[in-house]
Amino acid sequence: MSRLTIHELTKAFMAFVAVKDVNLEVADGEFLSLLGPSGCGKTTTLRCVAGLEDPTSGKILFGDKDVTHLPPERRHIGMVFQNYALFPHMTVVENVKFGLDMKGITGAEAQRRMTSVMEMVQLSHLQDRHPRQLSGGQQQRVALARALVIEPTLLLLDEPLANLDAKLREEMRFFIRSLQQRVGITTLYVTHDQAESMTMSDRIVVMFGGYIHQVGSPQDIYFRPATKEVANFIGHSNLLPGKVLDEHDGIVSVQTAFGVVQSRALQKWKSGSPVTVMVRPETLRLTAGSYPNALPGRIVAQHFLGNIVDYRVALADDTMVMIQSLGGQTHATGDAINVIVDPEKTWLLP
Amino acid sequence: MIMAKAKTNLRNWVFGLPALLLVLLFIVVPYLNIVVMSFRNTSMSAPYAPGFTFDNYTRVLGDLYYLVLLRDTLFFALLTTVLCFVLAFPVAFHLARTKSRFQGLLYAGVLSPLLTGVVIRCFGWIVLLSNNGIVNQLLAYGGLGPYRLMYNHTGVTIALVHVFLPFMILPIMNSVQAIDPRLEEAARTLGASRTSVFRRVLLPLTLPGIQSGVILVFVLSASAYVIPLLLGQGQVQTVPTIVVQQLLGSFLWPFGAALALTLSVSVLFLVSTFALSTIRSMRRLA
Amino acid sequence: MKLARVGLLIPVTATYVFLLMPIFVIVLASINSAEYLSFPPSGFSTKWYQSFLNSDQFMSAFRRSILLGISVAFFASLIGTPAAMFYVRFLQRNREQFRFAMLAPMLLPEVLTAIALLFFFNQVLFGTETILPLLIGHVVITMPFVFLTVTSALYNMPTAVEEAARTLGAGPWRTFRRITFPLIKSGIITGATLAFIMSFDNVNISLLLKSIGTVTLPIQILQYLQYDFDATAAAASTISVMMTMMVVLLIDRIYGLRAVRF
């Protein structure tokens, strides 16, 4: 039985529909990210799970218990907010203890939990400070401690690292993930940062415009995106439109405006159907010489980025593709060049 | 589910209801009642008599005395507003921009008159302006005067300006404080002189504050009662003083109501005209 | 440039003198031993204060103003605080209209409101024999101040602290008691203080809605000035000024009044 089930969730604010028919199942102990651009509905979905928003329709279940209309204080969740939401008039200790007070956990048990959680977040020495005396990273850890000390069924995080600087963000990523694995708590994590979701999650849910576009592991999302939006959002990709010519031994040939491209396909494609070939820049190779099935083109620009070189190549019909190669090869801008496409590394999108 | 949402909303209205009822019952209804009252018949023996009539308004608009009264009240309100603006503008700018450590004290200096109450402030002016008041005593040392500074429009206007000055200073000060100092810097780097910066950057951006201050002071001075009463001592009459006299003295409520409403409508008309005419310059700022 | 700066300083200083002089003059008059204020003052005396303390009229008016002020502050806060919470946290539609309704008593000319209430109480309700109309009138015009200060305090609260409390197991009432109320306390106190001062100094409403036995201090001074003229009124005025100053300073000391911005 999954720890969290979201069934046909829809949430509308007056005329604007923020979340549309979202279905999701989260396994026990899993770290799941909700990823997407601002306004895609990921935060609204999280808030419905928390009970801070009332769903317009649909069901939310914790295990086999229907919590759809249960107020937040009865759901036994732990939530970490983007700006930490620490109580300014209380010390660190009072903040963390708040949830225990609310649930009537006192005495030795409370003490035990407090000591253990403060140690986990490494803040035992700052117990009597007020939030305004702490740095952003420290405040974040207090927020985590406060959410975890009540031993909730679910941990919900709403873009918790958005207000931290880049270096701290990277450190905190590992900190949160290892903490989560240690405690083994089922976690729902909202972010718009794809690197964050890729490094931390067991599975990623990619959302656009209120809909779920894809649910899968980081590898699935990266190598086998379900839609063009997902392909565009994660990393860089070249999207080449064309028509299916034929299929042969699992390799599909696609006719494009600048030549024929071949791709391995995992499903059947009908001859003549329109298709988009997705090719990641790092899977393309350039060669001055000839190569079977290579696409002819011309280097229009190149940028040296340190570990890689970024090329912009114009193909036969002036379609631009982006190619990234590790340093070593040297081609001059303006050179005629051939682009080698590896059929094992391409992906077809409808 | 829809039921649950409605119940929450209804329960939440309990918070806002007492205040709403207070305003409804003790502002909206009474104000509507003034309008009704202005159409009632007057009576010698009671506040009003049964039946309705237009007589009160014909009296207000037909009798030259009341028309002149109306004109004077509006005129001196306008004069007060202009004088307040002239005095307030430098103070507001200074207060908004000064970095001196006395800024808090100066701000308190502008606020504190508001805490002392209008009667006391008028009392101070009586002591200063009456025929053997302090100002005339000082002038006597120089061989001047005595001048009649009270019991006339001069005294009343001085007191009006004094009492309502903070209401002009504060909105302008807020407007100036809201201006990003980097706008001035940008203008200077583009070659604007100090006067140009003031005229073309700062002044337009303080317009909202000026507008608020002007409307506030005008409405307040047109409806002022205590100040003309104390500084005029019966020699200066404004619409509010006459109206209160009709209500408390002569007991002619319907007529008093009609007079009060006539003033209010005139003030509203002037304020709206002003607001609309400046709306174009405001729109350019939005 | 330096000259312009100095040139500006002169009108600014003159304006400050203009603002503060009348009050200063009254304070001086209250300790002047002469019958009438002369310049320079002829001597110092506390006789006017003794006259004030011995005057039944003034003392009862003073007591009444204080008691009334405290009651007004209490009721204005009681009504204005939940209204502010409603506006900031709950109200979805017609927000601008509600806000306008809350601020209307403050925006309308006070004389007109006083007249409206005079008619209303005498025609529709129980008349102005008791102190109740006065209390209601004061509460109506001071409630907007509490609404403004509490709204401001609510907006200044860090976002999501109330939601955080809910996720930690606190229901709506406990969230209010442990989280919201402590954080808006200074806003409520500031609003209540403003309500007290506005009530204490009020003239227009107090004049029209008073009855035989309900004279407040400003009205007492007003009546005194119209018929009598000695510096007892100056002593009364100075005490009134001192009182309001003291209240402001006391509250500022305890809670901080930086947020007095309209």
Query: Which of C161, C169, C170 has the CB atom closest to A85's CB atom?
Result: C161
In a domain, B4, yes or no: no
Return the pLDDT at C57. 87
* Matching residue, tokens 């004069």: B79
Contact C73, C195 (CB under 8 A): yes
Query: Which of B91, B117, B230 has the CB atom closest to C201's CB atom?
Result: B117
Q: Tell me which of B123, B160, B218, B230 to substitute to probe the interface with C (most C C-beta atoms closer than 10 Å).
A: B123
C221 with B94: Cβ contact below 8 A: no
B19 with C102: Cβ contact below 8 A: yes
B120 with C26: Cβ contact below 8 A: yes
In a domain, B25, yes or no: no
B30 with C244: Cβ contact below 8 A: no
Q: Residue B217 is encoded by which pair of tokens?
A: 């002071």
In a domain, B197, yes or no: yes
C105 with B29: Cβ contact below 8 A: no
Q: Tell me which of A49, A89, A190 to substitute to probe the interface with C (most C C-beta atoms closer than 10 Å).
A: A89
C82 with B15: Cβ contact below 8 A: yes
**What is the edge-to-edge ordering of all strands in the sheet holding A259-264?**
A259-264, A251-256, A238-248, A274-279, A347-349
* Matching residue, tokens 């299916």: A244
Q: Which residue of A has its CA nearest to B3?
A: A69
Return the pLDDT at C257. 52
Q: At a CB cut-off of 8 Å and minimum separation 6, what does B269 contact?
A: none
Any chains having at least 3 CB pairs less than 8 A from chain B are A, C
Query: Which of C159, C166, C182 has the CB atom closest to A73's CB atom?
Result: C166
B15 with C90: Cβ contact below 8 A: yes
Q: Tell me which of C5, C6, C39 to substitute to probe the interface with B (most B C-beta atoms closer than 10 Å).
A: C39
Assign B68 a pLDDT band (cuts: 50, 70, 90).
Answer: very high
Q: Residue B103 is encoded by which pair of tokens?
A: 């800024």
- Whether the pLDDT of residue B3 is over 60: the answer is no
Contacts of C115 in chain B (CB under 8 A): 34, 243-244, 247, 256-257, 260
Q: Chain A within 8 Å of B4 (Cβ-Cβ)? A: yes
Number of A to C CB contacts under 8 A, please give it.
Answer: 71
* Matching residue, tokens 């409508």: B265
B5 with A54: Cβ contact below 8 A: yes
Return the pLDDT at B285. 61
For residues C133, C134, C137, C138, the Cα torsion angle rounded to the nearest 10 degrees is: -150
Q: Chain C within 8 Å of B76 (Cβ-Cβ)? A: no
Neighbours of B100 (CB within 10 A): 9
Distances B251 to B38, B239, C72, C209 between C-alpha atoms, Å = 13, 16, 29, 15
Query: Which of C161, C169, C183 has the CB atom closest to A99's CB atom?
Result: C169
Q: Which residue of C has its CA nearest to B174?
A: C261
In whole angstroms, what is the distance from residue B224 CA to residue A314 CA? 78
Q: Tell me which of C13, C110, C145, C203 to substitute to probe the interface with B (most B C-beta atoms closer than 10 Å).
A: C203
The minimum CA-CA distance between B251 and chain A, rounded to whole Å, is 54
pLDDT tens digits, C158-173: 879 999 999 999 998 9
C169 with A81: Cβ contact below 8 A: no
In a domain, B99, yes or no: yes
C140 with B26: Cβ contact below 8 A: yes
pLDDT tens digits, B136-188: 888 887 777 677 888 889 899 999 999 999 999 999 999 998 888 888 888 88
Q: Highest-confidence range of A40-54, C19-33, C201-215, by mean pLDDT?
A: A40-54
Return the pLDDT at C261. 42
Contacts of C80 in chain B (CB under 8 A): 19
Q: Taking the mean position of all CA atoms in its chain, how far away is CA C58?
A: 20
Assign B6 a pLDDT band (cuts: 50, 70, 90).
Answer: very low
pLDDT tens digits, A226-261: 898 999 899 888 888 888 888 887 788 888 888 888
Assign B283 a pLDDT band (cuts: 50, 70, 90).
Answer: low
- Whether the pLDDT of residue A212 is over 90: the answer is yes
pLDDT tens digits, B239-276: 999 999 888 877 788 899 999 999 999 999 999 999 88
Q: Highest-confidence range of A52-66, B7-21, B50-64, by mean pLDDT?
A: A52-66
Assign A215 a pLDDT band (cuts: 50, 70, 90).
Answer: very high
The minimum CA-CA distance between A85 and chain C, rounded to whole Å, is 5
Contacts of A156 in chain C (CB under 8 A): 167
Q: Highest-confidence range of A73-87, A326-340, B145-159, C227-241, by mean pLDDT?
A: A73-87
Q: Could you write out the three-class secondary structure of chain B? A: CHHHHHHHHHHHHHHHHHHHHHHHHHHHHHHHHHHHHHCEECCCCCCCEEEECCHHHHHHHHCHHHHHHHHHHHHHHHHHHHHHHHHHHHHHHHHHHCCCCCHHHHHHHHHHHHHCCHHHHHHHHHHHHCCCCHHHHHHHHCCCCCCCCCCCHHHHHHHHHHHHHHHHHHHHHHHHHCCCHHHHHHHHHCCCCHHHHHHHHHHHHHHHHHHHHHHHHHHHHHCCCHHHHHHHCCCCCCHHHHHHHHHHHCCCHHHHHHHHHHHHHHHHHHHHHHHHHHHHHHHCCC
Q: Chain A within 8 Å of B11 (Cβ-Cβ)? A: no
Query: Which of C26, C101, C109 has the CB atom closest to B124's CB atom?
Result: C26
Contacts of C158 in chain A (CB under 8 A): 83, 85-86, 88
Return the pLDDT at B216. 93
Q: Which residue of A has its CA nearest to C185?
A: A89
Q: Which residue of C has its CA nearest to B251?
A: C119
pLDDT tens digits, B189-214: 888 888 888 888 888 888 889 999 99
Lowest mean pLDDT: which of A121-130, A252-261, C5-14?
C5-14
Instruction: Please report, for chain C, the start and end positions of each structural domain, with discontinuous segments joined by +.
Output: 1-45, 56-255
A69 with B4: Cβ contact below 8 A: yes
A150 with C165: Cβ contact below 8 A: no
In a domain, B193, yes or no: yes
- Whether the pLDDT of residue C74 is over 90: the answer is yes
C225 with B230: Cβ contact below 8 A: yes
The minimum CA-CA distance between A70 and chain B, rounded to whole Å, is 11
DSSP chain C: -HHHHHHHHHHHHHHHHHHHHHHHHHHHHHTB-SSS--SS---B--HHHHHHHH-HHHHHHHHHHHHHHHHHHHHHHHHHHHHHHIIIII--SSHHHHHHHHHHHHHS-HHHHHHHHHHHHHHTSS-SSSSHHHHHHHHHHHHHHHHHHHHHHHHHSPTTHHHHHHHTT--HHHHIIIIIHHHHHHHHHHHHHHHHHHHHH--HHHHHH--TT---HHHHHHHHHHH--STHHHHHHHHHHHHHHHHHHHHHHHH--TT---
> Does C56-255 carry CATH code 3.40.630.10?
no
A87 with C170: Cβ contact below 8 A: no
Find residue A77's DSSP bridge partners. A154
- Strand A203-208, strand A211-216: pairing: antiparallel
Our count of domains for chain B comes to 1
Contacts of B178 in chain C (CB under 8 A): none
Q: How many CA atoms lie within 13 A of B129 on its CB side?
A: 25
pLDDT tens digits, C205-224: 999 998 877 799 999 998 88
The minimum CA-CA distance between B104 and chain A, rounded to whole Å, is 25
The minimum CA-CA distance between A102 and chain C, rounded to whole Å, is 5
Contacts of B6 in chain A (CB under 8 A): none
Return the pLDDT at C260. 45
By a Cβ cutoff of 8 Å, what residues of chain C touch chain A?
158-161, 163-171, 174, 178-179, 182-183
Domains and CATH numbers, chain A: 4-232 (3.40.50.300), 238-349 (2.40.50.140)
Contacts of C161 in chain A (CB under 8 A): 85-88
The minimum CA-CA distance between C80 and chain A, rounded to whole Å, is 23
Q: Residue B175 is encoded by which pair of tokens?
A: 């407007």
Q: Taking the mean position of all CA atoms in its chain, how far away is CA A79?
A: 18
Q: Which domain holds residue B139?
A: 53-283
- Whether the pLDDT of residue C4 is over 70: the answer is no
Any chains having at least 3 CB pairs less than 8 A from chain C are A, B
The minimum CA-CA distance between B166 and chain C, rounded to whole Å, is 9
Query: Which of C168, C171, C178 has the CB atom closest to A150's CB atom?
Result: C168
Q: How many CA atoms lie within 13 A of B274 on its CB side?
A: 19
Query: Which of C159, C164, C182 has the CB atom closest to A89's CB atom?
Result: C182
In a domain, B40, yes or no: no
Mean model confidence pLDDT for chain C: 86
In whole angstroms, what is the distance from residue B229 CA to residue A265 CA? 94
The minimum CA-CA distance between B119 and chain A, rounded to whole Å, is 42
